[in-house]
A and B are shown apart, each in its own frame.
Chain A
């Protein structure tokens, strides 16, 4: 296929030799069977290499899956393709042409449409108004609206993409809102459709419907890129699948020739296990018991479904799962940060999960401490000095408040100094702002604060995210030490290594449910990976 651009190039250069023209034609022909080709894309955010030398080819008229754990760089890659970020290096070819995509407008012009995980719709506009928004033809709305109405009718017939064009977005279900996003892309004549975790907010039947739509679009010659971490969807709907891990593209497979097991292995990677020195746990009394825990978020999506487990003194229970399957919500519920339905008991006494006595102070009073997943947002006040952060959450501690309302800053500073020495925080300066410490030292500050209060239950989320290797080892040792002193620890981590090496028991979560429980020495990363993907 000879495109207009190459034809123009040939016309303008009559002296071009026959061979080079042939080569060019061949090259173009080969590339043109790919809707998208990325060559050596790299992107770094500060010290974090989000994408490392990524090359990928997406065949025209196929559904191409991209899988990987959270933080593997999938969304960054797609944001580069859609013009939200610019790659530090590398090349983008669309339909065989090298294309610059400095902004999303350029992406739309190149025929790339994107359906975001979080919809970008105007809630109090109608479907029709949202579809034409930003793509109005001329100053008057009527022609655009009429055109969109006609198009919507055709699409509804062809692909089951039926939505009432005059309904307000706020009155539509999540599944219908997503269809509007797809319609927006099609109205802009997108040939290549990128869907970022499209089923995260959908019910299973809505998801099946979405896949029928996608297959229909494929038959019309559209190219679809599906980003997900759910292997079942990949196996169901894609033709080819690429696996990303830690910013790199590790493999591309034809879907019919691969298996969930292989993909799970590729996703998680056969990483060297960081072995942690520890003696077998000696679990004691039951300290925390949870039964029938249920959480429904503001969008009406069920985030936790009848969660039940118990936690004993002197053991570490790890919760494995791909991020976004309810682990974070479980931690927040237990830490008193959001109310939920269900029952819980702490040391045999009922623990309210909603109502007035359900906040983080009440949990600390019941000897539940919490190392949050996001230390920058929750665990620390970055603009506060280290010593002020030591009092965070413990500002009612009589040690810090000898006269109920007045704070004894000097006592807090002394205590911070002691904690910094015990946890080897560097620099050991209580007057340094929290933002001035490295990630590992920030985490040590948080851990020192929570561990030194000797809680009965410690909730830990992603304890070593963004932490350097040396600090990881130290943090793991401290958690084991706390366990050995008789505390119960609930560990949430997306690092399977960490779960495997620290936990005495492992609970796997998928889609808000507990998929099962395993003992670390009787399972392996592959089995857990499958459970995490909802395949077991």
Chain B
């Protein structure tokens, strides 16, 4: 059954929604099986994530992370490159943020934000450049190299934290706190300007706007610029790209630079916006969640935004669930995994029946 049989609107809405629904149904059965009430669990998750400005704040904070890493994977996938290295690129982005914030005195957060964003993007891009170069010029497969580079990045970061950034005498492998001038305005401060009350607790900050801006920028780059045209042509058909005189090696390297920069930008939210210092595990798996987000978002920036919101909800709702019920933390991970499984790996299981449904309706 070809993909073309499903109308476009159904392909981008019905298919992912059905997948998510199926994942939730199975999750509900699991929750019921361990003796908890699925209905209460859903209620708790939704209330925890969206019931208050506190919940919203955390949901949006997580979503910001996932937008960056999701965009990174989505851009690479437009060129049919599977960048699994978002985790490592984001870690290096964190190093870039830390260096910019610690070693340059900034008079105002806005200048610090621009410089830290550049630092994060450059470090992330540089980390993605090496696998990109190896694939383009040496034929080493990008999936393998980016995975390996995640481990190298973790070790490299450990070295920097322990031997370079750690303050004298501190036991904790982390950088000193960034100067107060580099603290990014929280969402409640921004909304406060318009007189809208918002919880002061959650770490959601101005990076959210950067992330939304990046969604638009990536969309514009892909569908309105020559570079994006070349990336998409290369992704759809390498022989055709070659015929058009688009250099596969050059596009591979460009795409990996952009992808790495986007992954690196995630650190602006987590390192600069939340922790205000660089710690060992600053990325917390967001690089991998980005793969699921891109997959579910159909590698389109708008889809990535929506999928990132869903995963933000799962993260925040899941945390609430673990806090208030006997449902163990591990089950939350299972629920998240089910969503990934259904939206990503089992895509055709949902797609084919829906396509059949449309074919039947068309025949009538």
Contact = CB atoms under 8 A, between A and B. Distances in A.
Interface of A: 335-337, 359-364, 370, 372, 374, 377-384, 388, 391-393, 395-396, 401, 404-407, 409, 435
A384 B242 contact: no
B242 A378 contact: yes
B233 interface: yes
A365 B223 CA distance: 25
Interface in B210-251: 223-230, 232-233, 236-237, 239-240, 242-247
Nearest to A370: B243
Nearest to B243: A378
Interface in B237-271: 237, 239-240, 242-247
A405 B240 contact: no
Nearest to A384: B236
B244 A377 contact: no
Contacts of A396: 226
Contacts of B225: 405-407
B242 A381 contact: no
Contact of A377 (B4, B228, B237): B237
Contacts of B4: 435
Nearest to A435: B4
Contacts of B226: 395-396, 401, 404-407
7 contacts: A377-B239, A377-B240, A395-B229, A395-B244, A404-B226, A406-B225, A407-B225
Given A361-B246, A405-B227, 11 more contacts: A337-B242, A372-B243, A374-B239, A380-B240, A381-B237, A382-B237, A384-B236, A391-B229, A393-B244, A405-B226, A409-B224
The 5 closest A-B CB pairs, nearest first, are: A361-B245, A360-B245, A393-B244, A378-B243, A381-B236
Contact of B243 (A384, A388, A393, A409): A393
Nearest to B242: A337
Contacts of B223: 409
A360 B229 CA distance: 16
A386 to B, nearest CB: 14
A370 B239 CA distance: 14
B242 A360 contact: yes
Given A405-B226, A405-B227, A406-B225, A393 B237 contact: no
Nearest to A408: B224
A374 B237 CA distance: 13
B245 A384 contact: no
B173 to A, nearest CB: 43
Q: Interface residue tally of chain B, by bracket? A: 20 to 34
B231 to A, nearest CB: 11
Contacts of A405: 225-227
A392 B240 contact: yes
A406 B237 contact: no
Interface in B1-54: 4
B245 A407 contact: no
Identify which of B4, B228, B239 gathers the most chain A CB atoms within 10 Å of its CB: B239
A213 to B, nearest CB: 37
B245 A378 contact: no
A52 B226 CA distance: 48
B245 A336 contact: yes
A118 to B, nearest CB: 18
Contact of B240 (A359, A379, A401, A409): A379
A407 B229 contact: yes
Interface string B169-204: 000000000000000000000000000000000000
Contacts of B244: 360-361, 392-393, 395
Nearest to B228: A407
Contacts of A335: 243
A360 B224 contact: no
B134 to A, nearest CB: 21
A436 B225 CA distance: 25
Contacts of A364: 245
Identify which of B226, B230, B233, B244 gathers the most chain A CB atoms within 10 Å of its CB: B244
A406 B4 CA distance: 30
Nearest to B233: A381
Contacts of A401: 226
Interface in B312-350: none
Identify which of A337, A360, A381, A435 gathers the most chain B CB atoms within 10 Å of its CB: A381
Nearest to B240: A381
A336 B243 CA distance: 8
A372 B243 CA distance: 8
A405 B246 CA distance: 15
A381 B244 CA distance: 10
Given A396-B226, A407-B226, A362 B245 contact: yes
Given A395-B226, A406-B226, A409-B224, A384 B239 contact: no
Contacts of A379: 240, 243
Identify which of B232, B239, B240 gathers the most chain A CB atoms within 10 Å of its CB: B240
Contacts of A435: 4
A391 B244 CA distance: 9
A336 B246 CA distance: 12
A378 B242 CA distance: 8
Contacts of B237: 377-378, 381-383
Identify which of B224, B236, B242, B243 gathers the most chain A CB atoms within 10 Å of its CB: B243
Nearest to B3: A383
A362 B244 CA distance: 10
B269 to A, nearest CB: 28
A54 B260 CA distance: 58
Nearest to A380: B240
Contacts of B229: 388, 391, 395, 407
A363 B226 CA distance: 19
Nearest to A392: B244
Contacts of A377: 237, 239-240
A378 B239 contact: yes
Contacts of A362: 245
A450 to B, nearest CB: 11
Nearest to A391: B229
Contacts of A393: 243-245
A5 to B, nearest CB: 42
A357 B28 CA distance: 61
Given A359-B245, A360-B242, A383 B227 contact: no
Nearest to B230: A395
A333 B257 CA distance: 31
Contacts of A337: 242-243
Contact of B247 (A359, A380, A383, A384): A359
Given A360-B245, A361-B245, A377-B239, A384 B233 contact: yes
A297 B223 CA distance: 37
A141 B151 CA distance: 40
A362 B240 CA distance: 16
Nearest to A338: B242
A384 B226 CA distance: 15
Contacts of B243: 335, 337, 360, 370, 372, 378-379, 392-393
B5 to A, nearest CB: 13
A364 B245 CA distance: 9
A461 to B, nearest CB: 11
B300 to A, nearest CB: 14
A377 B32 CA distance: 52
B139 to A, nearest CB: 13
Contacts of B239: 374, 377-378
Nearest to A374: B239
B236 A383 contact: yes
A407 B225 CA distance: 5
A406 B223 CA distance: 10
A388 B226 CA distance: 11
Contacts of A363: 245
